[in-house]
Amino acid sequence: MRLSPLTKKMTALAKAVEWLANAQRLVVFTGAGVSAESGIPTFRDQLTGLWAKFDPAQLATATAFRNDPALVWGWYEWRRAQVAKALPNAAHVAIAASARHVPELVVVTQNVDDLHERAGSNDVIHLHGSLQVARCFACARPHPLAQCPSTGVEASRLEPPRCTHCNGKIRPGVVWFGEDLPETALRTAFKSARNADLLLSVGTSGLVYPAACIPEIARENGARVVHINTEPADTKDATTLTGRAGEWLPKLLDAACGTDPGN
């Protein structure tokens, strides 16, 4: 029997609601799409201004920083300024609220913003580091960042600060392409995925490894997997809710736990 797209959508939602209502060990795995409705560009979005001619993956590397530290440091400070001005959106709020309804919730994010934390999520696992921390590129000593990024509204090149210990250039505390992920974060994320009975994969293209292994690890270990993405995903053995995270997650939480996540 061929299901109509509407029936398919309703079936997917009904399954996701039932799974969330009965989840004991929930993992929410997020990518740039969960912050899109807060106005933070995703990695798929075309870069603008100074960086328009670059692919983010080219800029998010140690080589790019070595070649042009001011261009890369300026990009990160501009992004940090964008995050500072942004607010958590309904998706972040619903994810944080779900902690009150599921016995165990682990949030694993690929994002380097702090919007999950500002929405109330605790112990967020950041697989790719954070814009909020920085360290010396030479001696790796942590370097305190001024609360307000040192960039104006306009994006600009910025000479990175210098390490007070060795005078090395300061780099952002993120994981660049070609760099290992923080071992404890990755190990904890893999363990949570193995133990999960439900994994919600929210706003990720699933292109960046090894983070992209996480939904598959959960599925292989018996978890149900629900993808929430504005792009239809043809993921095997998983359920997909196509649409905005800020629309689906409050609906899902409300239907499964009978509460308005905003309260």
Residues that bind ligand BV8 (CB under 6 A): 31-33, 36-37, 42-44, 57, 60, 110, 112, 128, 174-181, 203-205, 207-211, 228-231, 244-245
| CB of 197 closer than 8 Å to CB of 171 | no
What is the spatial distance between Cα 48 and Cα 42, in angstroms, rounded to a whole number?
Answer: 12
Residue 128 known to be catalytic: yes
φ, ψ (nearest 5 deg) of residue 162: -110, 150
CB atoms within 10 A of CB 123: 10
What is the spatial distance between Cα 206 and Cα 229, in angstroms, rounded to a whole number?
Answer: 11
What is the spatial distance between Cα 102 and Cα 104, in angstroms, rounded to a whole number?
Answer: 6
Q: In the bound complex, what is the minimum distance in angstroms from residue 59's beta carbon to ligand BV8?
A: 7
CA atoms within 13 A on the CB side of 77: 26
Contact partner at residue 165 from Zn ion, ligand BV8, none, CB < 5 to 8 Å by partner kind: Zn ion
Contact partner at residue 43 from Zn ion, ligand BV8, none, CB < 5 to 8 Å by partner kind: ligand BV8
Q: Is 139 in the site for Zn ion (CB under 5 A)?
A: yes
177 vs 190 by CB, closer to ligand BV8: 177
Q: 178-184 long-range CB contacts below 8 Å, 24 or more apart?
A: 178/61, 178/62, 178/63, 179/62, 181/127, 181/128, 181/210, 181/211, 182/126, 182/127, 182/129
Report the residue from 41, 120, 168, 243 that binds Zn ion according to the rule CB under 5 A.
168
Contact partner at residue 192 from Zn ion, ligand BV8, none, CB < 5 to 8 Å by partner kind: none
Contact partner at residue 31 from ligand BV8, Zn ion, none, CB < 5 to 8 Å by partner kind: ligand BV8
Instruction: Output the residue with the shortest Cβ distance to ligand BV8.
Output: 33
Q: In the bound complex, what is the minimum distance in angstroms from residue 162's beta carbon to ligand BV8?
A: 22
Q: Which stretch binds Zn ion (CB under 5 A): 16-24, 93-101, 128-136, 225-233?
A: 128-136
Report the residue from 66, 85, 100, 165 that binds Zn ion according to the rule CB under 5 A.
165
Of 186, 233, 220, 230, which Cα lies nearest the Cα of 45?
A: 230
Q: Which residues are catalytic?
A: 128
